[in-house]
């Protein structure tokens, strides 16, 4: 072995992932030691409740009531942060660990999305690793794939399904023909969705991950605040059914591209062609697509969350640190990362799915068509469903390739119309 002394881990957070890390290090102890070139052992832990039964034996670990004391302890060589949250205790712990010269492994995408550049600077100054494979797409090695495997490539774009809760809800709606609210309650009962699912269903969790992927892919500074975010609350069973009839499946997709006009980042429901790999990513799985100028398209798919997959990613980072295999957190030094302006999405062009719920009366379709004509939007197809008991009519319009600014102009023109019973649903088509 290269080293005889074990690498001593200070583990903060004993939730699902934290207990998974303990189990994994114990179960695969010998294998991990051989692959790391030295033993990796937990020496200290900190969590909210020392007396809680977590199904693991923690009696052999030094307990710290104060997590920052753990980070500064001479009994700890490396700190693993698994408590979550963009600010507060998690950020304080990360700053303390890096400030004390201790490498940091984290699964905290929210903290990285908001403070990743500052933490990377601290790691650079101390010449120590900051590792976060588990922060994006759980057990899928997409961070390593982009930072190392595709390091020689210029990446044109990166996109994918980045939230397992939303994917579970959408694919269940698709298979069972059920409404969003009903499936959400089921997902909460089964543990696929949190009691407060806001971060997931409103697209915020996916946006945190997208901001990190964009930085790695394009060599740009993380810019979470510039991401346009739309969640899945307004996707209906009607949308799922109509999309299927048109040859598409609806997925929440995060998209990032870096061009001459700036950095484009968006998370929103999209219509994905049934022949596209993302259309076949079901349940709580995640998937990421990246396109390099020499390597071509790369497709990563797997479990995006859960005890085993996420713990696997955390321990993989620990093994890298034990081997002294690590580089700059975001593939280059922070000073080399470009600070790109936000790209104008209005200049983007593509096909768009528009769903209207309108009054059942003459002239409504003509009114909508006139607004689209005046904005320069060409209609590819129209689907109209019969009047419902409440007197509403479902109207689906798919456009030809049109500038997104023209779509917005159309909707602005219709915003005051009493023919519209509800706000239109806009979903771009992944072509």
Weakest mean pLDDT among 35-44, 80-89, 326-335, 385-394: 385-394
Query: pLDDT, tens digit, for every residue of 381-404?
Result: 999 987 776 778 999 999 999 999
Task: Answer yes or no: are the C-beta atoms of 62 and 47 closer than 8 Å.
Answer: no
Domain boundaries, the chain: 7-135, 142-303, 347-429
Please say if 209 is a catalytic residue.
Answer: yes
Does the structural domain 347-429 have CATH classification 1.20.1250.20? no
Backbone angles phi, psi at 258, to 5 degrees: -120, 115
Across 402-424, average pLDDT: 95
CATH topology for 142-303 is Dihydrodipicolinate Reductase; domain 2 (3.30.360)
- This model's pTM is above 0.85: yes
Listed in sequence order, the residues at least 6 apart from 329 whose beta carbon sits closer than 8 Å to its beta carbon are: 116, 119, 120, 123, 124, 129, 130, 131, 132
Give the rounded percent of residues in the chain with a pLDDT score beyond 90. 87
Task: Answer yes or no: are the C-beta atoms of 138 and 235 closer than 8 Å.
Answer: no
Name the CA dihedral angle for 127, 129, 130, 134, rounded to a multiple of 10 degrees: 170
Taking the C-alpha atoms of residue 47 and residue 67, their distance in angstroms, rounded to an integer, is 8
Residue 3's pLDDT band (cuts 50, 70, 90): low
Average pLDDT along the chain: 94
Residue 1's pLDDT band (cuts 50, 70, 90): very low
- Catalytic residue, from 209, 249, 291, 342: name it: 209
Q: By C-alpha distance, which of 186, 170, 162 is closest to 241?
A: 170
Q: CATH homologous superfamily for 7-135?
A: NAD(P)-binding Rossmann-like Domain (3.40.50.720)
């Amino acid at each position: 072995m290269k080293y005889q002394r074990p690498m001593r881990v200070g583990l903060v957070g004993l939730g699902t992932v934290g207990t998974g890390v303990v189990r994994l290090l114990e179960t695969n102890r010998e294998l991990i030691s051989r692959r790391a070139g030295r033993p990796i052992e937990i020496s200290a832990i900190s969590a909210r409740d020392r007396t809680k039964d977590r199904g693991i034996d923690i009696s052999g670990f030094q307990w710290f009531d104060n997590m920052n004391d753990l980070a500064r302890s001479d009994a700890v060589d490396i700190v693993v942060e698994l408590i979550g949250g963009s600010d507060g205790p998690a950020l304080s712990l990360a700053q303390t660990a890096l400030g004390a010269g201790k490498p940091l492994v984290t699964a905290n995408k929210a903290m990285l999305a908001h403070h990743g550049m500052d933490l990377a600077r601290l790691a650079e100054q101390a010449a120590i690793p900051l590792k976060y494979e588990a922060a994006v797409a759980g057990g899928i090695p997409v961070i390593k794939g982009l930072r190392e495997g595709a390091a020689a490539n210029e990446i044109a774009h990166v996109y994918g399904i980045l939230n397992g809760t939303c994917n579970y809800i959408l694919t269940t709606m698709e298979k069972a023909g059920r409404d969003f609210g009903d499936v959400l309650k089921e997902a909460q009962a089964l543990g696929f969705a949190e009691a407060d699912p806001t971060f997931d269903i409103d697209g915020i969790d996916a946006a945190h991950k997208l901001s990190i992927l964009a930085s790695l892919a394009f060599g740009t500074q993380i810019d979470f605040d510039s991401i346009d975010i739309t969640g899945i609350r307004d996707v209906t069973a009607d949308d799922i059914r109509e999309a299927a009839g048109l040859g598409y499946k609806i997925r929440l997709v995060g998209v990032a591209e870096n061009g001459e006009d700036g950095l484009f980042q968006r998370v929103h429901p999209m219509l994905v062609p049934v022949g596209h790999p993302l259309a076949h990513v079901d349940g709580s799985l995640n998937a990421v697509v990246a396109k390099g100028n020499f390597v071509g398209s790369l497709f990563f798919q797997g479990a995006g969350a859960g005890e085993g997959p996420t713990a696997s990613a955390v321990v993989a980072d620990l093994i890298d640190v034990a081997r002294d295999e690590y580089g700059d957190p975001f593939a280059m030094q922070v000073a080399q990362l470009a600070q790109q302006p936000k790209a104008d999405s209005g200049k983007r062009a593509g096909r768009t799915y528009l769903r209207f719920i309108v009054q059942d009366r003459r002239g409504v379709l003509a009114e909508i068509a006139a607004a689209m004509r005046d904005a320069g939007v060409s209609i590819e197809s129209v689907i109209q469903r019969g009047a419902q008991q409440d007197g509403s009519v479902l109207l689906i319009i798919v456009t030809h390739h049109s500038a997104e600014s023209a779509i917005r102009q159309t909707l602005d023109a219709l915003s005051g119309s009493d023919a519209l019973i509800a706000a239109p649903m806009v979903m771009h088509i992944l072509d």
